[in-house]
Amino acid sequence: MSRAETEFGAPASSASAGWRELWRKEDWWAIWLGLGLVLAGYFLFVNGSSLRWIAVTPAKWATGAQLLAHFQDNIARYLAQFLLWLVTFAIALTALGHRARDFVPAFVFLYLVSVVIFVIGQWDQASTYNLEPPLVALVLGLVLSNLVGLPRWLDAGFRVEFYVKTGIVLLGATLPFTLIVWAGPVAIFQASIVSIVTFLVIYWVAVRLGLDRRLAATLGAGGAVCGVSAAIAIAGAVGARREDAPVAITLVIIWAIVMIFVLPFASAALLLPAGIGGAWIGTSEFADAAGFAAAQAYGALAGKNGIAGTADQAVFAFTLMKVVGRDVWIGIWAFVLAIVATTRWERTATGGRPDIAQIWWRFPKFVIGFIAASLIVTAATSGYSLADFNKTVNPALVAPLKDLRSWAFIFCFFSIGLTTRFRELANAGAKPFLAFSTGVAVNVVLGFVLSAYVFAAHWANLAR
């Protein structure tokens, strides 16, 4: 059964409630896949083996001969890894209603180009030319989709959100749970300040410009919480007009892509430590996928050119700020705005009583996998001394999961470019653009002040 033949008009009770969500939402598939890899890695580790063999990545290289030798020596490992991704993603996407016959050729293309992108990033001169894999993947994808053009059916393999959510679950395995507990409250506090202020600014400006309140709320959530996902969630919660969500989607995409380049380069120009740069990106980027591209690009600069810290600090700070600080609250935003929409705003022909259960329905479930992965690895490795962890656990268990995460993120970054077709985006209009952009300006400045001054010590010392 194809994606276009499923879930038509499914009754409300069957579409969101019960166990059906476990195989009909990509968040859960990201959990099954991500935690499956974590558990497989742990099982192999305790039995004296490792995921290392299949978690192959291109090595650092300086000459073509080195590169050729690497692939000659490891071609079987790449083939096995390709099949692992292909089969697991195909199972998940087929369950979600995509056609396997569309996905397979699309993923072959995606994987082959991702290998090339990874190779470029491993060139010993890559940083000299700012050839960070996230940025290369994004630019290459944008060029292919906007200047060359690819068949639409290939989109079945370019699932940005599924790849980033899988990567986030794998990221959990490399992030100590104690760090989440220690840094989480500050992330939530900082993110809450910025989210509330950004939402109110966008909403207030939009209403002052005469825009409909439901559009204003959709724009505000898109800028303040988690980008396109928040915009679509709030549009549904408040019963927005059909044309409202595409306006917010257009503005989020444009600003998110701008920020992928602006935030890392601004952070580098200001010589922000990696943790601070990551926190700023986590506060001021608009979507998880775009934010990871920016945070990973900035992390790659850590330890060079006067930028203190490590790549992990940038990614960890971003993750705590964006995922823990902002994403998990979307259900509460939706519930509160649904109440406001039905009690304070002009009535529409359609409506319904706001249901507090939507806080759970809309909860980004992949976060559960992220936390679970962190808990599993933290508990499994708690008995090791730091020396033993670095000598045994890290190379055999954590590092392979980190390398698999890198692959998932490259698939994601390349897919962002491949699915962003500027000419197909809705015309946002001057007033929504002005309202949203005002919020962007406030968000970026406030995010910088909080990250680089108010909580600077916290973020600079994260995961030291």
Partner 1 sequence: MGGERCGSCVHFRNDPAYLETLFAGLAALSSADASVRADDGHCRRHDRYLSARASCADFSPAVAAGLTQPDRSPGTR
Establish if 258 lies at the interface with partner 1 (CB under 8 A). no
Part of the chain binding partner 1 (CB under 8 A), chosen from 270-278, 344-352, 392-400, 447-455: 344-352
- DSSP annotation of 71: H
Site for partner 1 in 431-460 (CB under 8 A): none
Taken in order 399, 403, 406, 408, is the CA torsion positive or negative?
negative
Q: Which is nearer to partner 1, 58 or 227 (CB)?
A: 227
In 3-state terms, what secondary structure has residue 464?
Answer: coil
Whole-number minimum distance, CB 14 to partner 1, in Å? 8
Exactly one of 12, 65, 148, 269 binds partner 1 (CB under 8 A); which one?
12
Cα torsion 101, 102, 105, 110 to 10°: value is: -140
Q: Is the separation of the CB atoms in 417 and 145 below 8 Å?
A: yes
Assigned token pair, 109: 């293309």
Site for partner 1 in 350-389 (CB under 8 A): 350-352, 355, 358, 361-366
In 3-state terms, what secondary structure has residue 61?
Answer: strand
Part of the chain binding partner 1 (CB under 8 A), chosen from 82-90, 388-396, 421-429, 439-447: 421-429
Q: Is the separation of the CB atoms in 312 and 463 below 8 Å?
A: yes
d(CA 362, CA 354) in angstroms, rounded, equals 13
Q: Is the separation of the CB atoms in 159 and 26 below 8 Å?
A: yes
Assigned token pair, 223: 């800028």
Over the window 216 to 255, marking each residue x when it contacts partner 1 by CB under 8 A and - when it does not, the resulting string is ----------xxxxx-xx-xxx-xxxx-xxx--xx-xx--
Q: Is the separation of the CB atoms in 166 and 365 below 8 Å?
A: no
Part of the chain binding partner 1 (CB under 8 A), chosen from 4-12, 75-83, 194-202, 454-462: 4-12
Binding residues for partner 1, rule CB under 8 A, total 77
d(CA 127, CA 24) in angstroms, rounded, equals 41
Site for partner 1 in 320-339 (CB under 8 A): 330-331
Q: Which is nearer to partner 1, 44 or 281 (CB)?
A: 281
Whole-number minimum distance, CB 360 to partner 1, in Å? 9
Q: Which is nearer to partner 1, 358 or 438 (CB)?
A: 358
Establish if 9 lies at the interface with partner 1 (CB under 8 A). yes
Over the window 389 to 418, marking each residue x when it contacts partner 1 by CB under 8 A and - when it does not, the resulting string is ---------------------------x--
Site for partner 1 in 163-222 (CB under 8 A): none
Q: Which is nearer to partner 1, 26 or 312 (CB)?
A: 26
Site for partner 1 in 276-295 (CB under 8 A): 286-287, 289-290
In 3-state terms, what secondary structure has residue 123?
Answer: strand
Whole-number minimum distance, CB 12 to partner 1, in Å? 3
The letter for the amino acid at 435 is: A
Contacts of 40 (CB under 8 A, 6+ apart): 51
d(CA 390, CA 58) in angstroms, rounded, equals 22
Q: Is the separation of the CB atoms in 206 and 220 below 8 Å?
A: yes
Q: Is the separation of the CB atoms in 418 and 141 below 8 Å?
A: yes
Whole-number minimum distance, CB 7 to partner 1, in Å? 4
Site for partner 1 in 119-148 (CB under 8 A): none
Establish if 149 lies at the interface with partner 1 (CB under 8 A). no
Q: Which is nearer to partner 1, 187 or 289 (CB)?
A: 289
Which residues share a beta bridge with 123? 61
Q: Which is nearer to partner 1, 119 or 160 (CB)?
A: 160
**Would you give the distance in Å from CA 16 to the centre of its chain?**
23
Whole-number minimum distance, CB 61 to partner 1, in Å? 32
Assigned token pair, 138: 């994004």
Whole-number minimum distance, CB 33 to partner 1, in Å? 14
Whole-number minimum distance, CB 234 to partner 1, in Å? 10
- DSSP annotation of 59: P
Whole-number minimum distance, CB 96 to partner 1, in Å? 5
Assigned token pair, 383: 């008995």
d(CA 84, CA 229) in angstroms, rounded, equals 28
Site for partner 1 in 64-123 (CB under 8 A): 96-97
